[in-house]
Amino acid sequence: MKILVTGGAGFIGSALIRHIVKDTGHDVVNLDKFTYAAPPGALAEVEGTGRVVTERGDICDAATVKRVFATARPDAVIHLAAESHVDRSIDGPLEFVQTNVVGTCILLDQARAYWSSLTGEARARFRFHHVSTDEVFGSLGPEGAFTEDSRYDPSSPYSASKAASDHFVRAWGRTYGMPIVLSNCSNNYGPFQFPEKLIPLMIVRALSGESLPVYGRGENVRDWLYVHDHATALLRVLESGKPGESYNVGGEAERTNLQVVHTVCALLDELVPASPHRPHVKLVTHVADRPGHDLRYAINPERIRTELGWRPTETFESGLRKTVAWYLEHRPWWGDILAGRYAGQRLGTVAAPRA
């Protein structure tokens, strides 16, 4: 099988491509715009295999997308290309609308034209897998978990743009009969994650002795999923998911943000005993909360577990230990990012309007 992966140079996309090349017999065409968040070196170990073809381009460019479909002739699409950082969506929402909504629609339209041109077995096996987030469902109370039937209630420009793209994907499936599948995942973490996200940001700031900013009281709860486990789930949904269905992918590892930060600090205390900043927990600083910050997310993964037989292999403890160790072993990688593209500053500080 040849799979077109959009956003394959990103954090989750690169993990997916590494999994496909190392653990399966499939080939990959990677269509990526290579934005600031494309982690350098994330595909280095598979680039020389002859199994990955890279196409630099924007999903918002219909001509480029059409050309890639025509030349690559993929058997399936896994659509990951997106702007993904909530804080950045607060500062600049229109870029999220352009890529996540308009770009997805352009990709869908070109995929439909390509699929319509197929015949026989090629047409029957084609799938379009749209990858989304649990944030489209909004905020949970202290109990319960999101299912595939949960009501959409996005709170940020990012989650609203992903919710819109989910709806368009379903519309293409229902209106045109295109064989689509969707997945909505919980918070990912692992190697090569751009250090604007919580876990890598806490690691790199703690190692430099900088303050560790925790929004509000740190009581916001997220379900955490190791990125390699997510990659295996994505391929399972593509290969075995029922057309028209969606699948929630979670690690069943709920933690408050403060618990996550404290666990990172404890691991750094253990793994860097000579650090002059131990105990690293003393660096924690509570800052003003983010506008529209959802209190709690939790995923019920029963459908993907029972229907497709997928389960995560990493616990939060084992996955986080691997992640911290990776960042310790790859200081030049994130050091270059901090020196150039992103210095660890806070984003998304637009004040929420008063009631």
Mind telling me the catalytic residues? 134-135, 158
Tokens 């077995």 identify what position? 121
Cα 154 to chain centroid distance, Å, stands at 17
Residue 135 and residue 133: Cα distance in Å, rounded?
5
Q: Are 191 and 230 in contact (CB under 8 A)?
A: no
Q: Are 65 and 106 in contact (CB under 8 A)?
A: yes
Residue 17 and residue 26: Cα distance in Å, rounded?
10
Q: In degrees, to the nearest 5, what angle opens at C-alpha 276 toward C-alphas 271 and 281?
A: 70
Nearest to 317 by CA among 273, 255, 228: 255
The amino acid present at 219, given as its one-letter code, is E
- Dump the DSSP string for 92-118: -HHHHIIIIIIIHHHHHHHHHHHHHH-
Which one-letter DSSP state was computed for residue 130?
E
- Other C-beta atoms lying within 10 Å of the C-beta of residue 302: 12
**Both tokens assigned to 298:** 């939790």
Residue 11 and residue 21: Cα distance in Å, rounded?
16
